[in-house]
Amino acid sequence: MNYEQYADTVLKELQHTLQAVDAQKAEAFTTMLDEADEVFCAGAGRSGFEVKGFAMRLMHMGLKSYVVGETCTPNIAKGGLLVVCSGSGATKSLVNHASKAKEVGAKVALITIDPNSPIANMADLVIEISAPSPKSAKQTDMKSIQPMGSLFEQSEGLFMDIVVMMLMARRGMDADTMFGRHANME
């Protein structure tokens, strides 16, 4: 295959996964974000990179958002929301984070491949992204030309970007209002 064929196939895979996400759950996730006192974002590996970008966009919107594990992240409390990105929904450190969040009365939203995972069983909201991954216990009929969990990781990032746009619309914001909070010490 050449570059154009790879690009076309990857775009079709992304279209399939994003259009398969439950739109009502996307709305519910947007509401959870809008109503949370603070948003804590957690993920491992490439999912961790994706959720860090999401935390940054929430900060650009003026939300109190943090990345779990960073030195300046405060404690989570009741009224807080933990957003976990985990294809397997079973990564031990993330299971521990979700357990702690529930223990203090915070809400948990999970973006995952496996809606029957340990974190899903604790979560207030589970957003399923139907993508194949060797890390997930859930088997899917979909095949991907991409290696490992790439399709899930890309899809979760795009899903979170779409939710940011939904939240922007809800709050009457545009890119110009958000840019005022962009880093100026780069």
Integer Cα distance of 27 and 162 in angstroms: 11
Predicted local distance difference test score (pLDDT) of residue 178: 77
Residue 11 lies in a domain: no
- 153 carries an active-site annotation: yes
Q: Flag whether 70 is in a domain.
A: yes
Q: Domain for residue 67, yes or no?
A: yes
Q: Say if 4 falls within a structural domain.
A: no
Under DSSP, the state recorded for 73 is -
* Structural domain contains residue 123: yes
Q: Is 2 contained in some domain? A: no
Tell me which residue range forms the domain holding 108: 38-177
pTM metric for this prediction: 0.92
What is the tens place of the pLDDT at every residue in 83-116?
A: 999 999 999 999 999 999 999 999 999 999 999 9
Q: What angle do CA 48, 49, 53 make, to 5 degrees?
A: 115
Options 38, 50, 153, 156, the catalytic residue: 153
Q: Compute φ and ψ for 126, nearest 5 degrees.
A: -120, 120
What pLDDT does residue 136 have? 55
Please identify which residue in the block is written with the tokens 């990032």. Answer: 157
The residues of the chain scoring below 70 in pLDDT are: 133-141, 183-185
HSE, side-chain direction, 13 A CA sphere, residue 43: 26
Residue 151 lies in a domain: yes
d(CA 81, CA 33): 7
The verdict on residue 101 lying in a domain is yes
Q: Are 25 and 110 in contact (CB under 8 A)?
A: no
- Tokens describing residue 183: 């880093």
Q: pLDDT value at position 133?
A: 63
What is the count of structural domains for the chain?
1
Percent of the chain that is helix, strand, coil (3-state, to 5): 50, 15, 40
Residue 118, domain CATH: 3.40.50.10490
Contacts of 175 (CB under 8 A, 6+ apart): none
